[in-house]
Amino acid sequence: MKTIGSLTALLCAFQSAAMVMGLSLCSSGRRRCRSAAPRVQCSTGTLPRGGAGTTTALFSSSSSTNGDSNVIIDAVVEGKTAGLARGDGEVGGGVKEPRQRKRDMFKQALKDLSTLSLLDYKWRSALFKKNEAERQEEAWMAAMMGEEPAYARPMDASGKFTHELIGRQRARRIAESDGELIRPKDLSRTDEAGPLSELERKAVQFLNDLSDSEVRRVQSGKLRPKDCEDRGPLGEAEAKAVLVLDKVVESEKTRMKQSRLSGQAVRPIDVPGPLGELERYVGDIIRSEKQRARDRDANEGKLVRPKDATLTSGLGEAERRAVEDWEMLKKEEKRRLFNLRRFISERRPMESDADSPIGVTEAFAVGLFRGPRLLAAVADRVKELMASEELGEKDKDFIRSLPPVQSKDLKDDQI
């Protein structure tokens, strides 16, 4: 009995050791599978949920194959990894397509936008040329008749016409260069450049001059930009500011010297300099406003504008210039509105093509709206005739003395 009990204890110890070795092999297999291929599950990492016999059999098989388990796991992981690598591009293990770079996508989008812009320019250019030809023809006919040409846009009144739009050459070059970015300043100055090109070219030139002058200042070892022989934008600005400050300092020194000599305070306006000019300007405004208040009291409380004050000042001059510009603008806009009404009336469908559906519809709508006004005018005329009295003898004699009206004259008046 003692021998059987010792054998049983030895067998239990052996099974416990096998269980520990199986668990260690399964954990190492899981780690290898996760490090080699994250999407592959290890076959030895799943334990079936069964009874004690099933678990013992699994651990027994694991203990019996502990020498070749690592080799089997590595082979399974490598095979599935190779299969994933073959099937990564497309189903069936095809070759993976190369990814499109963001730069290429941007260039393609820029090329497509420039192509659309070029097509839009062609359409707008044809429409503009057609409208410009019609406008010039109307201007020629108006000049022949001794009238002013009708125009609907302020640019037509000033005589400045935009024959070429800004984005045409740039869009064409972008479309032809396979999406390469063409800056406005890269266009030639002869026939391709526009206002945007000139603006960017001036801005770039200013920045280049600024950077070049700063580089020369650092190389020469000078501290202030105005001390350089070849001044840049900063040097010119500093020189002008220093000149103004020097004038202010000199005028203040002179004023303080005169104050010490005379024993009384000398105002900046009594000494030539920037501060004196500023004080004079402000003083004129104050005196003008005081006089304007007195003018208002003398004008029975009516408001007197700065431009109408007895004493003129900077405010009055500014208001006068603003009013003149506003009056000119209002006059031009009234003239443009009159020409626009004439321009539209000459192109109304009921006038240009009365037999068309649009012309008939417009004529019907206009007649419908004008009907009440016509009835009101007829009623007013009837009331006027009913309220009239018989003419006197002098009026009858005057009417008889008038020459008779011919039918031809009536037709001419109707025309």
The amino acid sitting at 135 is R
Name the percent of the chain lying above pLDDT 70: 56
The amino acid sitting at 73 is I
DSSP 174-209: HHHTTT----GGGS-TTTT--HHHHHHHHHHHHHHH
Give the range with max mean pLDDT: 26-35, 110-119, 327-336. 327-336
Please report the pLDDT score of residue 335 as a whole number.
Answer: 80
Nearest in space to 333 (alpha carbons), one of 152, 90, 141, 174: 152
Alpha-carbon distance of 7 to 301, in angstroms, equals: 130
Backbone angles phi, psi at 128, to 5 degrees: -65, -40
pLDDT over threshold 50, residue 323? yes
Q: What is the pLDDT of residues 354-406, one digit of tens each?
A: 888 888 898 899 889 888 999 999 999 999 888 877 777 887 788 788 777 66
Alpha-carbon distance of 18 to 270, in angstroms, equals: 113
Please report the pLDDT score of residue 124 as a whole number.
Answer: 66
Longest dimension (CA), the chain: 169
Q: What is the pLDDT of residues 149-162, one digit of tens each?
A: 665 555 555 444 44
Alpha-carbon distance of 143 to 161, in angstroms, equals: 19
pLDDT over threshold 70, residue 141? yes
User: 413 falls in which pLDDT band (50, 70, 90)?
Assistant: very low
Q: Are 157 and 332 in contact (CB under 8 A)?
A: yes
Give me the residue label for tokens 């005739």: 385
Q: What is the pLDDT of residues 75-101, one digit of tens each?
A: 444 444 444 444 444 444 444 445 557
Cα–chain center distance at 121: 19
Mean pLDDT of 34-56: 43
Please report the pLDDT score of residue 338 as a whole number.
Answer: 81
User: 50 falls in which pLDDT band (50, 70, 90)?
Assistant: very low
Mean pLDDT of 171-183: 60
Question: How far apart, in Å, are the Cα atoms of 386 and each of 63, 383, 390, 393?
Answer: 131, 5, 11, 20
User: How many C-beta atoms lie closer than 10 Å to residue 410's C-beta?
Assistant: 10
User: How many C-beta atoms lie closer than 10 Å to residue 400's C-beta?
Assistant: 7
Residue of 142 and 66 predicted with greater confidence: 142
Residue of 26 and 243 predicted with greater confidence: 243
User: 12 falls in which pLDDT band (50, 70, 90)?
Assistant: low
Under 8 Å CB-to-CB from 349, ≥6 apart: which residues?
A: 356, 358, 359, 361, 362
Alpha-carbon distance of 415 to 411, in angstroms, equals: 6
What is the CA angle 240-241-246, rounded to 5? 100
Please report the pLDDT score of residue 8 as a whole number.
Answer: 61
Three-state secondary structure string covering 32-71:
HHHHHCCCCCCHHHCCCCCCHHHHHHHHHHHHHCCCCHHH
Q: Which tokens go with 413?
A: 């008046």
Mean pLDDT of 277-284: 88
Range in 12-21, 141-150, 371-380 with the lowest mean pLDDT: 12-21
Please report the pLDDT score of residue 23 as a whole number.
Answer: 46
User: Which helix H or strand E contains 303, and what residues bound it?
Assistant: none
Alpha-carbon distance of 66 to 241, in angstroms, equals: 91
pLDDT over threshold 70, residue 51? no
Alpha-carbon distance of 413 to 408, in angstroms, equals: 9
Q: What is the pLDDT of residues 250-270, one digit of tens each?
A: 988 888 988 888 888 888 888
- Three-state secondary-structure class, residue 381: helix
Residue of 300 and 103 predicted with greater confidence: 300
Q: Which tokens go with 262?
A: 């005379």
Mean pLDDT of 232-244: 89
pTM flag (> 0.85): no
User: How many C-beta atoms lie closer than 10 Å to residue 174's C-beta?
Assistant: 22
